Amino acid sequence: MAIKLVVFDMAGTTVRDQNYVALALQKALNNHGFEISLEQINPLMGYEKPLAIRMLLQKTEPKVETISEELVEAIHTDFVAEMLNFYQTSQEIAPLPHVEETFDTLRSLGIKIGLNTGFSRSIAQTIVDRLEWSDKIDGLVASDEVSQGRPYPYMIQKLMTQMQINDVRQVAKVGDTEVDVNEGLNAGCPYVIGVTTGAFTHDELLPYKPTHIVDDLSKIIPIVTAQD
């Protein structure tokens, strides 16, 4: 069955990251007295950020009763502010290699482009605006626009609804983290493609059983356009 929609992650998959997301999360945690290493933070890239914050606190805070919704929200507020400032002002924000060409090629073949992310909508929209991608994509869904973010499939399903695609066998998922892969598998996508441009290496992605792993986004084109 022909693919009609490819759902891409953002930071580390289509947008150059340079680990700034993890650094911003580390800084937000440190603002509230939690010193957590990047080695602990990096595996949770791709998760809805309030959930990632809670997971990190649960691993490092012995007094579980101190991990309140208010604390998680306060840390997340600091993280969002840090990321908004970065994406609004940094000259480092840029597409990863061959991303825009890949978008254009897929759309020329009648395949729609969707973006989803563990960021809030405010951050995601800022990225799209800075990169001037509004005319290059067909849809965007952020983690705070669904009841539960990755690894649940709800962001993919929301994009499918927006594109009027009823069969998940017509959808491919592309991302750079474990939780991206699990999101695609949980949705039932026939192609769940890991990319090594972000947080995870080839060997780190392999145990999560993506259907494919590539080192350049352009390499997804022959995969998603293959005929049955």
Say which residue the tokens 């840029």 belong to. Answer: 94
- What per-residue confidence (pLDDT) applies to 228? 59
Terminal-to-terminal C-alpha distance of the chain: 7
Q: What is the largest CA-CA distance in the chain?
A: 55
Going along the chain from its start, the domains and CATH numbers come out as 5-16+94-224 (3.40.50.1000), 20-89 (1.10.150)
Distance CA(40)–CA(97), nearest Å, equals 27
- What per-residue confidence (pLDDT) applies to 17? 81
**Cβ neighbours of 131 (radius 10 Å):** 19
Sign for the CA dihedral angle at 32, 38, 43, 48 comes to: positive
- What per-residue confidence (pLDDT) applies to 19? 85
Cβ–Cβ < 8 Å for 93, 16: yes
- What per-residue confidence (pLDDT) applies to 62? 80
pLDDT along the chain (228 residues), means of 10: 96 91 95 94 92 93 86 96 93 95 98 96 96 98 96 98 98 97 98 96 97 98 88
- What per-residue confidence (pLDDT) applies to 164? 97
**Per-residue pLDDT tens for 183-213?**
999 999 999 999 999 989 999 999 999 999 9
- What per-residue confidence (pLDDT) applies to 60? 86
Residue type for 202, please? H
What is the value of pTM for the model shown? 0.90
- My answer on whether omega of the bond before 62 falls inside 30° of 0, hence cis, is no
* CA angle, 180 then 184 then 190, to 5°: 140
